[in-house]
Amino acid sequence: MKINVIILGILAAILCLSGCSSIQTVSSNYNPATLPSPTPLQAITDLPQIIATLNQLAEKSMSQYQQEGWWRRIDTVVTQRGDLHSLSHEEWLQLPKNQSECMIRMDISKDPDKGEIMNWQMQTAEGYLGNVITLRKGESEVIQVDPAVCRMTTETTQAGYLAKVLAGNFSGKESKLELQFAQAWYQDRNGKQVFFIETSFKTNFEKLTVEKDIYYFDMETGMAIEHLLAMFWEDGSQMGEIDTQSFYELWEEMPKEVAEQYQQGLEELKKHTVKPSLAPSADITTEPTALPLELESLLKPYTQENPLADEAQAESVMQEIVRRRSAWVARPGWLLQKSHWRGGKDYTNEQYTLVHITGDYGQCQEQMVYFYKDGKLSPWIVRLADGTSGMVP
């Protein structure tokens, strides 16, 4: 079994960049070849104290990101064993002058063996978000997220997010994690003061039962400088581990070649953004309109036994379907989606998602994911208009 772990900001092969008048570097400045797990003399085991320290580190890293310029983050995978594998990433990030807007970012991930770009994520200050690679293939859409979700805050820094997870205020993948223990201590590494945190979580993800993490945070900058992730099977054997080292640079301006790539990404977002004409508010019982006659006529001769084999023609059909779906779901109103999972054995095999759509570009406001248990509505995840979200106990 091979599991790919996507870690934001990882780049295995560092690009040769030029054209910046001033670079400020924040790095770990040590050899990550071995990852020690020392036994501290005075470990901090008080969870509130660990969380408080992480929040202080989040404030420090936030002050770093608030400097003018572009932050370039490179996370290098120095060790990966077993069945845990990762793509490589390079992220460029800038905070807008208007703090109510989204952070501006470009994140490119590659296959570390082939060098092929697998994902090319773009996000603008207005909240437009898209993956250039899948947009080109007609496999995804440009969406606009609420600034409350895409703004950079102390909670979205690595230290702040870890503090949130340890405090139990999380959702999504982490909802399957149950904290078993956490300990921390201060450590000197090559003259740098580092805050070391070791955590262990119980998880019910497939047959994996334990996730162990080790984090190193630079006390001066608040930045995460190394992370070791290890996963274990239910029989106690290790499934795999990944050791990642982080490196940061602050550039006054993007290098020429990066700026050109960034501009190309913006043009792709603009090209694939669908601005639907305003229609009456969508009723939750409304079904998508039929495909246009010319598309139906085009597809009529093709069946499972006689499929459409022309790749260019098939791609055009898929792009048209995606475009029309985007326009339909982006209409202001309430959208209800029901998903049925085949083979389900309990009430969770039918999941409902209710989303409030507002604005010309289909911005999402309130959202709720729920089930029906014993004939009664059972909320699972709720998101408010201000971006606050959480799981319902």
Angle at 130 between CA 4 and CA 101, to 5 degrees: 115
| Structural domain contains residue 184 | no
Say yes or no: 11 and 135 in one domain: yes
Q: How many residues does the chain have?
A: 393
Angle of CA points 246, 111, 82, to nearest 5°: 75
Query: What does the pLDDT read at residue 11?
Result: 24
Give yes or no: residues 321 and 244 share one domain.
no
List beta partners, residue 167.
Answer: none
**What angle do helix axes 47-65 and 158-166 make, rounded to 10 degrees?**
160
Tens digit of each residue's pLDDT (9 = 90 or more) over 58-111: 999 999 999 999 999 988 888 888 888 777 889 999 998 887 788 999 999 887
Q: Roughly how many angstroms between the first and final C-alpha of the chain, as a whole number?
A: 32
In this prediction, residue 276 carries a pLDDT of 41
> How confident is residue 227, by pLDDT bands cut at 50, 70 and 90?
very high
* Residue range(s) defining the domain that contains residue 311: 279-391
Specify the pairing of strand 3-5 against strand 84-86: parallel
| Structure confidence at residue 267 (pLDDT) | 92
Q: Most confidently modeled of 40-49, 234-243, 375-384?
A: 234-243
Please write the tens of the pLDDT for every residue from 351-360: 888 888 765 4
pLDDT value of residue 278: 35
273 in any annotated domain: no
Residue 323 lies in a domain: yes
Read off the pLDDT of residues 231-278 as tens digits, 9 standing for 90 and up: 888 888 888 999 988 899 999 999 999 999 999 999 998 888 754 433
Residues 24 and 164 in one domain: yes
Name the residue among 284, 260, 296 with its Cα closest to residue 355: 284
- Asked if 78 contacts 33 with a C-beta cutoff of 8 angstroms, the reply is yes
CB 17 within 8 A of CB 11: no
Q: Mark which of 207, 223, 257 sits at the end of a domain.
A: 257
Same domain? 334 vs 242: no
41 has a pLDDT exceeding 80: no
> Residue 292's pLDDT band (boundaries 50, 70, 90)?
low
Pairwise CA distance, residues 249 & 218, whole Å: 14
Q: Is residue 201 part of a domain?
A: no
Angstrom CA distances, 248 to 26, 72, 103, 242, 269, stand at 5, 6, 17, 20, 27
- Structural domain count, the chain: 2
Query: Residue 347 domain-assigned?
Result: yes
Alpha-carbon distance of 209 to 200, in angstroms, equals 10
